[in-house]
Chains A and B, each alone.
Chain A
Amino acid sequence: METFKILQNYFQQLPIELKLVWVLSAVLTVLAIIFTVYLKFLRNTLREKDVLSVKYQHKYESELLSYLFEESDEGELSNSQNEFIKTIQSKCDNKFKRKIIVETLLKLKNEVSGEIEIAIQNLYLKSNLKEHAYQQLKSKNWCIVANGIKELAQFKVKEAYPEVKKLIKYPKKEVRKEVELYLVSLFHFEGLDFLNNLKINLSEWDQIELLEELKNFDNQEIPDITLWLNSKNDSVVSFSLKLAKIYNKYETVETLLELLNHKNQKIRIQVIDVLTHLQVLDAKEILKNNFKKSSEEEQIAIFKMLENIYEPNDEAFIVENSTHKNFEIQYLALKILKSINEKTFNKLASESNYYNNNVVLKFVQNN
């Protein structure tokens, strides 16, 4: 009691700044103690959850294997198999257990094919797991919605198409990406019809993921992409240009030539690249005629095209641009000229004052 009074008197005599420091220290100490206790509690809870998760995982793993290898009559499930389905159905309402069950099924489904994969697929459909994924699509939390779509795609639930398609304009791009992957992974090229009316930007990463998914199919017969090439959405045009290049869509050449006048420079450059890949000679004349009106980036793309599909009659055009102010164009022009007509190249090279930059010339001469 005495000590407390001494401390109280001491505290009261202190200047206001020191009092504040003491109060602040006391508050911070209390907070530190609270957080330490909370962290300890959190760590213990997480550890317990992990232990429980491993325990359930082992349990469901062995039950799943018994289910998969149970001998049963042709087309009929045995009593113990039906029992396992009922067990899953009863655990579905428990979010924690449901997550472990789905993870266990996926862990195996992703690694095996054939009968076992089909059996896991059927198990998913027969239990209430599918219905819960449907419920997730209605969640207000975008993360849960995205997970629901991903799960339906992983278990190839085609019937969810109407519900999933509705989410194509979802505000969060993560959800939209899952919708796109669902459509493509389950409906292949037909799934790309969402591009017909897509107003939202399709990011580069989304495009890469879609192309990667499309590569997995045996049927590589891609439908007509003209509609997407003419889309008002530049990202759709860019994606369909990638499709045209990868799948060698020669039938789109006419549309591609029209796209050389696209308002977006990036698209125009991409078109030149696709036309180069498809070796469209008609494009070369159009581009040469519009060369001076084109931007420097486009001019570089045109010369890259010429490098791939040059002809002897391109010589005059190349000589004209062999002193271009842009290093890359000058280099490409000299390189092509050397290949087309070495005599002209040597003649120009001998005119010492013709080139401002002799380094490029010497490099081309020696290589």
Chain B
Amino acid sequence: MKETKNIVLAEDNTTLSQLLKFRLQKEGYTTFVAQDGKQALELIELQKPNLILTDIMMPFISGLEVISHVRNKLQLQTPIIVFSAAGQEEMVLKAFNLGATDFMAKPFSPNELIIRIKRILT
């Protein structure tokens, strides 16, 4: 039986997170949604996902801190895709320096995101 891949999605916009969850589940991925960075770290430690999707700007713990925690404290090489808003180019550079795998600037196409996820996870 084919093993389903786990994805942790950290996004504080509930409408967007629900949409992405719906879309990812349709593609056969098991998705765990966190509404802030703190929840995201808990889910990452608990679920050991195959991929992490995280927004940069989030309450409590930012996306950058999530990347740093995953790479430096947990010592995990899980691929991480970050979402950034327009004008956050500096943040994106910081995210790459911390170990992000890819990024998507908002507004983004969910179809394009799925293509990138498939490419990373195959």
Docked CA distance A237–B14 (Å): 45
User: In the complex the two chains form, what is the Cα distance from A58 to B86 in whole Å?
Assistant: 27
On chain A, the residues within 8 Å of B26 by CB distance are 69
Query: Chain A nearest CB: distance from B101 CB in Å?
Result: 21
- How many interface residues does chain A have, given as a range? 20 to 34
| Known interface pairs A69-B26, A107-B13; A112-B18 also in contact (CB < 8 Å) | no
Size class of the contact patch on chain B: 10 to 19
How many pairs of A and B residues are in contact by the CB < 8 Å rule?
52
Q: Using A65-B22, A69-B22, A69-B26 as known contacts, say yes or no to A115 and B16 having CB atoms under 8 A apart.
A: no
Interface residue? A110 (CB, 8 A): yes
Of listed B15, B16, B19, B106, residue having the most chain A CB within 10 A = B15
Residue in B closest to A109 when the chains form the complex, CB atoms = B107
- For A58, A62, A64, A111, the residue with the greatest tally of chain B CB atoms inside 10 Å of its CB is A111
In the docked arrangement, what's the CA distance between A61 and B109, Å? 18
Query: Is A104 an interface residue when CB atoms closer than 8 A count as contact?
Result: yes
Could you say which residues of chain B place their CB within 8 Å of the CB of A307?
none
B19 A68 Cβ-Cβ under 8 A: yes
Contacts A64-B15, A69-B22, A107-B13: A115 and B106 contacting too (C-beta < 8 A)? no
Name the residue in A108, A110, A112, A216 with the highest tally of chain B Cβ atoms < 10 Å from its Cβ. Answer: A112
Q: Among A58, A108, A113, A216, which residue has its beta carbon within 8 angstroms of that of B16?
A: A108
Indicate whether A114 reaches chain B with its CB closer than 8 angstroms: yes
Q: Is B75 in the interface zone, CB < 8 Å from A? A: no
| Known A112-B108, A113-B108, A114-B109; contact A61-B22, beta-carbon cutoff 8 A | no
Q: Is A117 an interface residue (CB 8 A)?
A: yes
Contacts of A107 in B (CB 8 A): 13-16
Distance between Cα atoms of A216 and B13 in the complex (Å): 23
Shortest beta-carbon distance, A10 to chain B, in Å? 60
Cβ 8 A contact of B15, one of A61, A113, A117: A61
Q: What residue of chain A has the Cβ atom nearest to residue B11's Cβ?
A: A111
Find chain B residues with CB under 8 A from A62 CB: 18
Contact A111 B13 (CB under 8 A): yes
CB distance from B106 to the nearest CB of A (A): 5
Within 8 A of A (CB), among B61-120: 86, 106-112
Q: A-B pairs with the 7 shortest C-beta distances?
A: A114-B109, A113-B107, A107-B15, A108-B15, A111-B16, A61-B15, A113-B109
Task: Identify 19 new A-B residue pairs, CB closer than 8 A, beyond the known A111-B16, A112-B110.
Answer: A57-B14, A69-B22, A69-B26, A104-B15, A107-B14, A108-B16, A108-B19, A109-B107, A110-B106, A111-B106, A111-B107, A112-B19, A112-B108, A113-B107, A113-B108, A114-B112, A115-B109, A115-B111, A116-B19
